[in-house]
Amino acid sequence: MNTMTDSKHLAVTGRQKMTPSEAFVETLVANGVRDVFGIVGSAYMDALDLFPLAGIRFISVAHEQGGGHMADGYARVSGRHGVCIAQNGPGVTNFVTSTAAAYWAHSPVVVVTPETGSGTIGLGGFQETEQLPIFSKITKYQAHVNNRARMAELTARAFDRALLDLGPTQLNIPRDYFYGDIECEIPQPMAIDRGAGSERSLDAAAELLANAAFPVILCGGGVVMADGQAEAIALAELLQAPVANSYLHNDSFPAAHPLWCGPLGYQGSKAAMKLLAKADVVLALGTRLGPFGTLPQYGIEYWPKQAKIIQVDADASMLGLVKPVSVGICGDAKAAAQALTARLAGKALKCVANRDARLADVKAEKTAWESELDGWTHEKDAWSVAVATGSAHMHPRQMLRELERAKPADAMVSTDIGNICSVSNSYLRFDRPRSMFAAMSFGNCGYAFPTIIGAKVAAPQRPAIAYVGDGAWGMSFGEIQTCVRENIPVTAVVFNNGQWGAEKKNHVDFYANRFVGVNLDHQPSWAAVARAMGAEGVTIDKVGDVGPALRAACEAQKAGKTTILEMMVTRELGDPFRRDALSLPVRHLAKYQSTAARRG
């Protein structure tokens, strides 16, 4: 780096005269911000004008929601802040969905929301809406710049709190407050150190683990966020305990490790579920034990109801929230794993005696699950068999297996919400943390593509792949413009099954195939659309072509090319999302009787 670049990235020091725009931008610089996602707007022109000289790249996106997801992906892969900014009013309301998604992904995204001018607020002028209430339940902290002299202080706090509470924060700035003269000092970012937890809780947890006959570790997103994978491995190896990934955190423990059993939850690993069912002590490391991620699957009631649970979470309010726990440790997953390993290192461990039997169990369950997956080439329910019979298209599961095999070792994969994306959970394995970016608990269609674009900006050397259903693609393909314009090469794998499949599955299972609004007829060729937009587009309908196409697309990223791989798949559908939350239809009114579930 030359000195010019270096000085750009250093914030000014000492109390001095500046404009609020300068204070805002310098606080971004102090926080190491190099990239900001958004759409240009008059509300923050004065600050935007300073970005190039501050060494900040403004990445101009197609839709603010996409910009918000990009900031999320950027934060998730880097562990640093993702930042997005938009025009007051409609630009800012376009951030609502992406902020809610970042909230449930625990991403330190700073959402900068310039607001209508302080001199006219309340008069119903142009692009005016109350911007704080809208975000109040989907942010960890909201800073409102109520005085231009506080610009740096409040900007800095929004950045600190995003990392401290691991979630999005909002920085709301009346647009006239960018202008004027102030005197201030740019605050330095706070150093955040969470610690392992209390001595008492760690001692109690070590005691339980030392006396466990069949300990199982459940590695959650907290392990990834704390950069604690090495510590989790050391603890698992000491205990020789099987390790499951929590739902949609398949990158929390390396798949190549002999103790890894795969993910729990929807379309997860039966091996992980069967081994967890045998546990007498579960160490839930860095996971809130989210309700959706611990529901029974494949008809297996795997949660070990008699087991003692030790839960480690950095957020005290998550302890014991979903499942009662024997020991709750409010601590950082990395530090807690380290502290537990240190406590157990000198102890006699009950689980050592039966370790060979347990390891044999792990191996047997994993082998059984792999061969089940190998044989599970298509869905076997009557509807799926009927729609797939005679189809020229690929079975989704076979295609997903091929993608798994062809995925480069250090690839990052984002996944959307949909039936095929959900089934992909069985096939997505990672050896490196910060590699899987699923839509998490907010579950919005349209998440994966912009998120992988943001991830690629933060980690340009890593292959970036988004898995997206064709319905969700219709919501998000506009961001191809961002890839092309801003030269951010990624690969999107679009599953073209001609339907909003995940919801159609509910029609099949509960509503006697009365399809309303689930068929995506008259779709364009998504490969052709991609080409028209300046990306590469490839249509694939043979399983044998899937792997080579993915490898070529990842390779093309090195040459700056974005590729859309349009996978032509049958309309078959895997197990539904929400069997737990749907009921067969009951009808009381005569005019709706034909839709009532038949009894008997």
Number of residues that bind Mg ion (CB under 5 A): 5
> Residue with CB nearest Mg ion?
469
Picking from 252, 284, 224, 286, the residue whose alpha carbon sits closest to that of residue 75 is 224
> Residue with CB nearest ligand TPP?
469
Other CB atoms within 10 Å distance of the CB of residue 48: 20
Sites for ligand TPP among residues 365-424 (CB under 6 A): 417-420
Write down the residue that tokens 């095929």 correspond to. Answer: 420
Q: Return the SS3 of 577.
A: coil
If the CB atoms of residues 365 and 470 are measured against Mg ion, the closer one turns out to be: 470
Nearest distance, CB of residue 556 and Mg ion, angstroms? 25
Picking from 43, 25, 21, the residue whose alpha carbon sits closest to that of residue 120 is 43
Alpha-carbon span 320 to 214, nearest angstrom: 21
Nearest distance, CB of residue 501 and ligand TPP, angstroms? 3
Nearest distance, CB of residue 491 and ligand TPP, angstroms? 17
If the CB atoms of residues 246 and 497 are measured against Mg ion, the closer one turns out to be: 497
SS3 readout for 146-181? CCHHHHHHHHHHHHHHHHHCCCCEEEEEEHHHHCCC
If the CB atoms of residues 237 and 541 are measured against ligand TPP, the closer one turns out to be: 541
User: Please, which residues have CB within 8 angstroms of residue 126's CB and are 6 or more apart in sequence?
Assistant: 89, 116
If the CB atoms of residues 153 and 541 are measured against ligand TPP, the closer one turns out to be: 541
Number of residues that bind ligand TPP (CB under 6 A): 19
User: Please, which residues have CB within 8 angstroms of residue 592's CB and are 6 or more apart in sequence?
Assistant: none
Contact 67, 450 (CB under 8 A): yes
Nearest distance, CB of residue 394 and Mg ion, angstroms? 14
Sites for Mg ion among residues 279-338 (CB under 5 A): none
If the CB atoms of residues 138 and 417 are measured against ligand TPP, the closer one turns out to be: 417
Q: Return the SS3 of 568.
A: strand
Over the window 411 to 450, marking each residue x when it contacts Mg ion by CB under 5 A and - when it does not, the resulting string is ----------------------------------------
Contact 145, 171 (CB under 8 A): yes
Nearest distance, CB of residue 37 and ligand TPP, angstroms? 19
Over the window 416 to 435, marking each residue x when it contacts ligand TPP by CB under 6 A and - when it does not, the resulting string is -xxxx---------------
Nearest distance, CB of residue 423 and ligand TPP, angstroms? 8
Nearest distance, CB of residue 442 and ligand TPP, angstroms? 9
If the CB atoms of residues 100 and 205 are measured against ligand TPP, the closer one turns out to be: 100
Q: Return the SS3 of 356.
A: helix
If the CB atoms of residues 91 and 471 are measured against Mg ion, the closer one turns out to be: 471
If the CB atoms of residues 366 and 571 are measured against ligand TPP, the closer one turns out to be: 571
Contact 438, 412 (CB under 8 A): no
Q: In what order do the strands lie in the sheet with 563-568?
A: 436-438, 412-415, 464-469, 491-496, 563-568, 536-540
Quickly list H helices, 316-354: 333-345, 350-353
Over the window 492 to 531, marking each residue x when it contacts ligand TPP by CB under 6 A and - when it does not, the resulting string is ---x-x-xxxxx----------------------------
Burial class (CB within 10 angstroms; exposed 0-12, middle 13-18, buried 19+) of 9: middle
Sites for Mg ion among residues 460-519 (CB under 5 A): 469-471, 497, 501
Picked from ligand TPP, Mg ion, none, the partner binding residue 445 (CB below 5 to 8 A depending on kind) is ligand TPP
Q: How far is CA 291 from the centre of its chain?
A: 17
Type of residue numbered 145: V
Picked from ligand TPP, Mg ion, none, the partner binding residue 402 (CB below 5 to 8 A depending on kind) is none
Picking from 555, 557, 556, 562, the residue whose alpha carbon sits closest to that of residue 481 is 562
Contact 241, 248 (CB under 8 A): no
Sites for ligand TPP among residues 456-485 (CB under 6 A): 469-472
Does position 574 interact with Mg ion (CB under 5 A)? The reply is no
Type of residue numbered 434: R
If the CB atoms of residues 96 and 134 are measured against ligand TPP, the closer one turns out to be: 96
If the CB atoms of residues 290 and 418 are measured against ligand TPP, the closer one turns out to be: 418
Judged by the rule CB under 5 A, the positions of this chain that interact with Mg ion are: 469-471, 497, 501
Judged by the rule CB under 6 A, the positions of this chain that interact with ligand TPP are: 417-420, 443-446, 469-472, 495, 497, 499-503
